[in-house]
Every structure is written in structure tokens, then in C-alpha cells.
Amino acid sequence: GDSVTQMEGPVTLSEEAFLTINCTYTATGYPSLFWYVQYPGEGLQLLLKATKADDKGSNKGFEATYRKETTSFHLEKGSVQVSDSAVYFCALIFFSNDYKLSFGAGTTVTVRA
Amino acid sequence: KAGVTQTPRYLIKTRGQQVTLSCSPISGHRSVSWYQQTPGQGLQFLFEYFSETQRNKGNFPGRFSGRQFSNSRSEMNVSTLELGDSALYLCASSLRQGANYGYTFGSGTRLTVV
């Protein structure tokens, strides 16, 4: 079945460091891909998305490119802030009869001042 | 514009009881999905409703059920609660079914079964 694999955390960084979180997927076909972020005590917020190959999603300094050839959607940010401390989830969904989001396990990121 | 509202935020129930959780989607959104989040299993899909009809269901026992009303508000019910049902239950709404419309999540209901 469809699945998402994220790099395991936790990840601890210093402020202004470069962040990358790897995400790869297994799916029959071409899903839409998402990154969600969850801050402590809150629900999920959509961070960015890409719906077809080579699309680049971006938001709040975060970027991810849909790579069909490597079935990947790695999240990157050039200079993190303490406020970026959160859990990040990679997810996929098919634009078909099956409209459920399949999530990765999540990666906890802590940014130190 | 109000977001997705889930009530209550926190709930403590005893094993064997039943519970009903509520989700009010963003105005105009007709699709509502439910997810269970636990430390061990992560985020798992429960079910999705669109226009008052269940369109998709995850791999959960029949104790988990839901419904959607004509105003798109949704409820999920868990009967005969077990300790393992302790989790954060998240609701997500979308304008329509389909990936490109995006899903907006609520803050969740934290259920603790004792």
C-alpha cells in the first residue's frame, strides 16, 4: 500500500542553521504531497504542498520539491528560528476515490537560541 | 474566517463508556475527515464524510462510527471505550473531496480513557 517514510528525529539545531528533513514515499501512481507542522498542544497546519512532479511548494521560508524519479519530497529551510520548533509530518494523498491522507511518523525539530 | 472547531478539547472517560466528539468545519467546507493520533501508531485515518455520506473508512473496529449533518458538522462516536483508545482525535475539513483543495485541521480532542 501507499506509505511515507520520514527521517527519524529528534533533530536539534542552533538558530540560523540549515534544516533538511528527508521524506520518501511508496505509491502506485502520482500522489499529491504535503508537509504539515504541529506545534505543541495544537492540531496540524498545512505548511506546503505539491500536486505534480517537479512542483516546488514553499511557505514561511520552507521549501520542498516533488521528485518523481527519487519518489521524494524533502523539506528544507535555510535559516531556522526558535519558533520553528515543532513536529513536521510528510503526507501523501491520491486524487482518486481514496481521499485519505497517509502520514509519515513525524520528525521532532528543536531549535536552540 | 473561523477555522475548524473541535469540542471538547479534553475528555476523560472510563473504560467501557462511550464518547461523542464534535467537529464544525470551516464555513462552506463539505468534506470532513477524522484522524487518530497516538505516540505508537502516529496519525491514522478513521473516516471521511462528504455531503452526509461516509465516503471512505480506515482500518478501525466497528466501535468507531461517525456521521455528518446537513450543515456539514460531523460527530464521531466511540463505544465500549478501551484504554488503547486514548489519543488525540483530529478533524480536518476541505471544500470538496480531493487533494488539490487542501485540508484544514482543528486543534483536536484529547481523549483519555482510564
Per residue in A101-111, pLDDT tens? Answer: 889 999 999 99
Q: Which residues pair with A19 in a beta bridge?
A: A77
**What secondary structure does DSSP assign to B97-111, as a single string?**
SSGGG--EE---EEE
**A30, A46, A101, A108, best to mutate vs chain B, most B CBs in 10 Å:** A101
A101–B35 CB contact, under 8 Å: yes
B33–A100 CB contact, under 8 Å: yes
Between A103 and B2, where is the model more confident? A103
Nearest to A105 among B6, B42, B45 (CB): B42
Per residue in B37-68, pLDDT tens? Answer: 999 899 999 999 999 999 889 999 999 999 99
Nearest to B45 among A94, A100, A106 (CB): A100
Half-sphere exposure of A46 (CA within 13 A, CB side): 20
Instruction: Please tell me if residue A89 touches chain B, with a CB cutoff of 8 Å.
Output: yes
- Determine the pLDDT at residue A42: 87
On the question of pLDDT at B86 being above 60, the answer is yes
CA separation, residue A65 to residues A44, A49, A74, A107, B11 (Å): 21, 9, 7, 18, 40
Confidence grade of residue A82 (pLDDT, cut at 50, 70, 90): very high
Q: What dihedral do alpha carbons B80, B81, B84, B89 form, nearest 10°?
A: 120
Between A9 and B52, where is the model more confident? B52
